[in-house]
Amino acid sequence: MSLYRNSIWFLKGIHEYTRKGFESAAKRFVEKDLDVSVAGRSFMITGASSGIGKAAAIAIAKRGGVIHMVCRNKDKAEEARGDIIRETANKEIHVHILDLSEPRKVWEFAEAFKKKYKSLNVLINNAGSMMNEREVNTDGLEKSFATNTLGVYILTKSLIPLLEKSSDPRVITVSSGGMLVQKLRTGNLQSERGPFDGTKVYAQNKRQQVVMTEQWAKTHDSIHFSVMHPGWADTPAVAAARPDFYRSMQHKLRSPEQGADTVVWLAVSEAAAAKPSGRFFQDRRMVSAHLPLAWTRSPQDREQKFMVLLEEIGKTFQPH
């Protein structure tokens, strides 16, 4: 079964996730959707120092948005900030240093941000990483889960009150088509049992992002939540985490700008806000978060139990 589903997914990828897939999808894009000014609106983008996050920051800065880059490496972030200002002539680009795999720091950062800034219109949960070996953070949490799931959960949860006070608030999470071969698991969140398979753990965390988005949409109806797959884009993360895939696919990969296109569309366009909240997108289109046969669907109570688990784990790191 797993060979079958992985093959189905890979064939889908070859057709849809590559540069050619993007070019073919782009024929139906409505150009004026992105012909907007977002001057005065503020956008927090995690992992904006490279790849898809940086490309999204540039596209939004060109349209006048205030950008809050949330990055873990100060030098890289400052260099990217310089590039963004040079390329867009927008000086409202702010750098915040945060390692999303450290939950205490994520709480502290978000709480301080809420005190300092009166509004945040859009949160883009873009930062993500795939670990090849099981590594733990300073609190003993497995790092892929800590970054891709718990970090996204705490940042979003903590910023929801600020988003709710702001106009036309949106939360966009950059997931991955890899999650299509994963069903939500809640039993081994820290990958403590069994051999560690970084690709599977990453794909599971990306499924968890889809579930979080669906659940948040149900409980916070003034915010527009979406989650998306950027396709296969040529970025440092792909080259580092999947060198064989990168070598064989390099010439077929999307550019970071093509990978960021749907992120930008979800963040700035009216057309995106008119779609239902909590849905999964690819190439500016709402698509199913499940492959045919639907074996990856989970009952509601399991998804709710997962949110309760995150709440409980998150709370243990919350400053008093």
The catalytic residue positions are 202
Q: Write down the least CB distance from residue 299 to ligand NAP, Å.
A: 27
Nearer to ligand NAP, 100 or 184 (CB): 100
Q: Which stretch binds ligand NAP (CB under 6 A): 70-78, 110-118, 272-280, 299-307?
A: 70-78
Pairing of strands 279-282, 285-287: antiparallel
The label of the residue with tokens 């792909």 reads 238
Q: Write down the least CB distance from residue 294 to ligand NAP, Å.
A: 22
**Chain centroid, CA 186 distance in Å:** 20
Nearer to ligand NAP, 129 or 269 (CB): 129
Q: How many CB atoms lie within 10 A of CB 221?
A: 12
- The rounded distance, in Å, linking the Cα atoms of 173 and 210 is 8
Contact positions with ligand NAP (CB under 6 A) in 147-206:
147, 174, 176
Q: Write down the least CB distance from residue 9 to ligand NAP, Å.
A: 12
Nearer to ligand NAP, 93 or 127 (CB): 127
- The rounded distance, in Å, linking the Cα atoms of 203 and 229 is 12
Q: Does 76 bind ligand NAP (CB under 6 A)?
A: yes
295 CB-near residues (< 8 Å, 6+ apart): 1, 5, 183
The label of the residue with tokens 């927090």 reads 44
Q: Does 73 bind ligand NAP (CB under 6 A)?
A: yes
Nearer to ligand NAP, 160 or 180 (CB): 180
Contact positions with ligand NAP (CB under 6 A) in 244-263:
259
Count interface residues toward ligand NAP (CB under 6 A). 29
Residue from 172, 214, 180, 215 nearest 200 by CA: 180
Q: Is 15 helix (H, G, I), strand (E, B) or coil?
A: helix
- The rounded distance, in Å, linking the Cα atoms of 171 and 278 is 9
Amino acid at 35: D
Q: Write down the least CB distance from residue 249 to ligand NAP, Å.
A: 9
Residues found near ligand NAP in the complex (CB under 6 A): 46-47, 49-53, 71-73, 76, 99-101, 126-129, 147, 174, 176, 230, 232-233, 235-238, 259
